[in-house]
């Protein structure tokens, strides 16, 4: 079974105050995926990491492109350099359209969006367009998670047709706590994929952050 871990990470200027935590948090996510791979050797885990800052599509950068987790090194300072505005819609639209053309019907996909602010500089995609795209991919069984600070993440996620949402505080402690919750959610997703591997088509996981 192929599992694609897609992470769309805010790299705008406001993330500078969380620089160390964002970098270590992403490396913690990679570490968790490596352990998932060890736990379920019949699963092949791929990672796509996209960051976004600046104006429009030009600020959307693919840092890791569908690489097997075994081939990925931890991120360093050159891989994450916050600055600029927040082209969230362009980052989501570009990433999701690209991934959709590369994913097979039987593959499992978890898309995680992490931001500390609202969309403010997209040029090619609107909220409506992204919402329609998310809805179409959810019908294919893709699982989405929206994690936001300085906003009502649940409400913003709902506007994008995403039903897994998590708020976090834009502080060092808040980001670290969020990273722990994200790792637990990803563990649950991997176990969910294992439990549903006999299904003819992938199924969306709708309770990622429910620890009960």
String of DSSP letters for the chain: -EEEEEEEEE-SGGGGGGHHHHHHHHHHHHHHHHHHHHH-TT-EEEEEEEEE-SSGGGGEEEEEEEEEGGGPPPP-GGG----S---HHHHHHHHHHHHHTT--TT-EEEEEEEESS-----SS--HHHHHHHHHHHHHTT-EEEEEESSS-HHHHHHHTT---EEE--SSHHHHHHHHHHHHHHHHHHHHHHHHTTTSSS----S-TT---
Lowest mean pLDDT segment, chosen from 9-13, 46-50, 159-163, 198-202 = 198-202
pLDDT given for residue 199 in this prediction: 83
How high is the mean pLDDT of the chain? 94
- Domain membership flag for residue 1: no
- Domain membership flag for residue 23: yes
- Domain membership flag for residue 85: yes
**What does the pLDDT average to over 163-185?**
93
- Domain membership flag for residue 27: yes
**Residue 201 pLDDT grade (very low, low, confident, very high; cuts 50, 70, 90):** confident
- Digit-coded pLDDT (tens) for 13-70: 999 999 999 999 999 999 999 999 999 999 999 999 999 999 889 999 999 999 999 9
Task: Give pTM, 2 decimals.
Answer: 0.96
- Digit-coded pLDDT (tens) for 92-119: 999 999 999 999 999 999 999 999 999 9
Q: Which domain holds residue 175?
A: 14-195
**Residue 212 pLDDT grade (very low, low, confident, very high; cuts 50, 70, 90):** low
Per the structure, how many domains does the chain have?
1
**CATH code of the domain covering residue 121:** 3.40.50.410
- Domain membership flag for residue 212: no
Lowest mean pLDDT segment, chosen from 105-114, 121-130, 193-202 = 193-202
- Domain membership flag for residue 6: no
- Domain membership flag for residue 2: no
- Domain membership flag for residue 170: yes
């Amino acid at each position: 079974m192929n599992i694609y871990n897609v992470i769309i990470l805010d790299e705008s200027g406001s993330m500078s105050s969380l620089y160390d935590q964002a970098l270590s948090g992403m490396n913690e996510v990679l570490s968790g995926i490596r352990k998932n791979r060890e736990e379920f050797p019949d699963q092949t885990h791929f990672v796509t990491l996209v960051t976004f800052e600046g104006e429009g599509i030009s600020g959307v950068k693919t840092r890791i492109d569908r690489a097997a987790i075994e081939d990925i090194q931890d991120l360093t300072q050159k891989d994450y350099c916050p600055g600029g505005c927040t082209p969230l819609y362009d980052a989501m639209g570009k990433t999701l359209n690209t991934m959709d053309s590369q994913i097979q019907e039987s593959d499992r996909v978890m898309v995680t969006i992490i931001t500390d602010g609202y969309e403010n500089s997209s040029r090619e995609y609107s909220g409506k367009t992204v919402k329609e795209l998310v809805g179409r991919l959810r019908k294919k069984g893709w699982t989405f998670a929206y994690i936001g600070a300085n906003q009502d993440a649940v409400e913003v996620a709902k506007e994008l047709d995403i039903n897994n949402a998590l708020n976090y505080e834009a502080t060092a402690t808040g980001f670290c706590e969020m990273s722990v919750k994200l790792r637990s959610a990803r563990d649950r997703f991997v176990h969910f994929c294992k439990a549903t591997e006999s299904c003819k088509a992938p199924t969306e996981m709708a309770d990622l952050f429910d620890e009960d």
